[in-house]
Amino acid sequence: MSAHQSLIVLARGGYAARGVIYLIIGIFALLAAQDSTKPKDSHRSLEALLSQPFGYVLVGVVVAGLLAFAAWRVLQAVRDVDHHGSHFKGLAIRAGLLAGGLVNGALAFFALGLLASGLESSGGEAGSQTKDLLAHILSWEHSNLLIYLIALVPFGVGIAHLIKGWKASFEKYFEADEDVMRYVRPVSRFGLIARGVVFLEIALLLAISGSGYKAMDPPGMKDALDALQHLPAGAVLLMVMALGLIAFSVYSFAEAAWRKINMDVPGVADR
């Protein structure tokens, strides 16, 4: 297989893996609308997946996909394969892609820890190291200012998703005819907007808390979905958001099938 074909497989496999993760999160969030004890974040969803028959095989496939997706995101950011450019907006988009690559890479290594250590012990060493690092950072003077700066990352991602979903700007990256897009378009818009809302909630939780959040329990997707659940008509809101995350998984699967994978990258042959 040529380098060109390998990169295409890497990218499409990565989008599919992201779709699997968000499908699981969405399903569990949908169940949590009726039972609040169900998991709602990516880590808990991977643990639940691991407990299923053939769970290790399934998580192994997801790990490979997440590593592929992380590598593809880094390539998008560093080599600018989608031609975002070097102006401010382009650099901001590429920085977001790089951050996404790092996050997905971290999630893949978390899943690798589950595979290597087993479900009961997997969170031990890696989890404690993460918590120790967070505790150390939050012990710094004026660490709340750092938290506010960190909150800008999910805030920017959330706004970008809302704009992308509202304008349907993702269409320019799809190679699919109108018969396909008439179904993909509305589902993708709903999914992107839903994911954007979740990221904005995470940013809001960080901004409100400052350094008040315990290092042992930093806010994430679970906190954002829990916050929705505790609002008036929270079960309905959580159900809508869960459907939105499932819609985002459909968008990810659509990217795996029809996204343009630009390969005019220096050093990568087309054949």
Model confidence pLDDT, tens digit, residues 95-104: 888 888 887 8
Residue with the larger pLDDT of the pair 234 and 163: 163
Residue 210: per-residue pLDDT? 57
User: Which residue's entry shows tokens 């050093």?
Assistant: 267
State the alpha helices, DSSP H only, in 33-54. 42-50
pLDDT confidence bin for 230, thresholds 50/70/90: confident
**pLDDT, tens digit, 9 for 90 and up, residues 47-77:** 666 666 666 777 777 788 888 888 888 888 8
- State residue 174 phi and psi, 5-degree precision: -100, 140
Distance CA 93, CA 40 (A): 27
For 41, phi then psi, to 5°, come to -120, 175
Dihedral pair phi/psi, residue 259, rounded to 5°: -70, 140
Give the dihedral sign, CA 226/230/231/234: positive
pTM of full prediction above 0.85 = no
pLDDT at 121: 43
Work out the percent of the chain whose per-residue pLDDT is above 90. 18
pLDDT of the residue at 271: 46
Give the closest residue to 42 by CA, choosing from 31, 54, 27, 56: 27
For residues 186 and 175, give the distance between their C-alpha atoms in angstroms, rounded to a whole number. Answer: 16
Q: Which residues contact 118 (CB under 8 A, 6 or more apart)?
A: none
Q: Residue 48 in contact with residue 24, Cβ under 8 Å?
A: yes
Question: Does position 189 have pLDDT exceeding 70, yes or no?
Answer: yes
Surface-to-core class of residue 257, CB atoms within 10 Å of its CB (0-12 exposed, 13-18 middle, 19+ buried): middle
Residue 119's pLDDT band, with cuts at 50, 70 and 90, is: very low
Which tokens is 257 given?
């099938």
